[in-house]
Chain A
Amino acid sequence: MATFAKTALSDLANKIVIDLAADTTAEVDLTGTTGSVYMIEIDATAGAATTAEPGCYLKLIDADTGVTGGGGSGSTPEMVLYAPIGKKTTYVISGGWAFGTGLSLWAVTTAPVAGDVSPTSDVKVTILTT
């Protein structure tokens, strides 16, 4: 009898990474391996937008060490995603963003690399990845 074998979900994102309160402190090598990011949800509904803090910036880098997050010696993010405070924003990446070293991220309230101010309210980040 013929046999076959399949690896379940081999071509699909099969990991969910959740950071309940992303801030300027980098979360490093979240999956512990290489992979691709297919979806990022930034839930900033815990706060309310203000003139001083209309949104936050989720910054991602393909690195598994030496990631310093925000600050004057901050790492240079490879991907920056803006999300308004008070809203839930989703980015879907068809084809996936491949990270060949490690998936690391942090969140701050300003766009510059040196931005070091964490969002005032919790910003929950959920990532669908491999």
Chain B
Amino acid sequence: MAFVTTKFGNVLPYRVSYNANITNTVTSNLCDGSGALYSVKVVNGNNAEVFVKIANALTATSGSTNPDWIFPCAASGTHTYEIPGGIAFDALSVWATENAIPSDNTAPSADVAANETIAITLVTG
């Protein structure tokens, strides 16, 4: 599933990027350049913990790139990591795996038949 990014015209400098089912496939340069990361919301419909990994890089490789952020989300849990003031980045590359270790390239073990998905929403500026 791909990210969909919504801007607020030229009124607000923020963007909302949403992926209804993030996997271990890396989305590179999500924001098409630099910006600031303000929020990461993870809705884990999976019956196992998931680790959302974000690299401050134009591109990344799941299983070999060391992410600058690892945001865990418990099984069947919802977490929102908010960063007041934001953190500046040069570029964002985003993916998710089943295990925390950066060398892991295991896709989150969502049960397709059970419609388990891992949705993620990022707010950037």
Contacts and interface: CB of A to CB of B under 8 A. Distances in A.
A91 B102 contact: no
Contact of B51 (A78, A84, A92): A78
A113 B101 CA distance: 8
Contacts of B74: 98
A31 interface: no
A97 B77 CA distance: 10
**Interface magnitude class on chain A:** 20 to 34
Contacts of B100: 76-78
A91 B88 contact: no
A90 B79 contact: no
User: Of A57, A84, A89, A111, which is in contact with the most chain B CB atoms at under 10 Å from its CB?
Assistant: A111
Contacts of A113: 66, 101-102
A72 interface: no
Interface residues of B, number: 24
Nearest to A84: B87
Interface in B91-110: 100-102
Interface string A43-85: 0000000000000010000000000000000001111111110
Nearest to B79: A95
Nearest to A88: B85
Interface string A6-22: 00000000000000000
Contacts of B111: none
B83 A89 contact: yes
A77 to B, nearest CB: 7
Given A78-B100, A79-B70, A82-B56, A95 B80 contact: yes
19 contacts: A79-B70, A80-B68, A80-B69, A82-B68, A82-B69, A83-B87, A84-B88, A89-B83, A92-B84, A94-B79, A94-B80, A95-B79, A97-B79, A111-B102, A112-B66, A112-B102, A113-B66, A113-B101, A113-B102
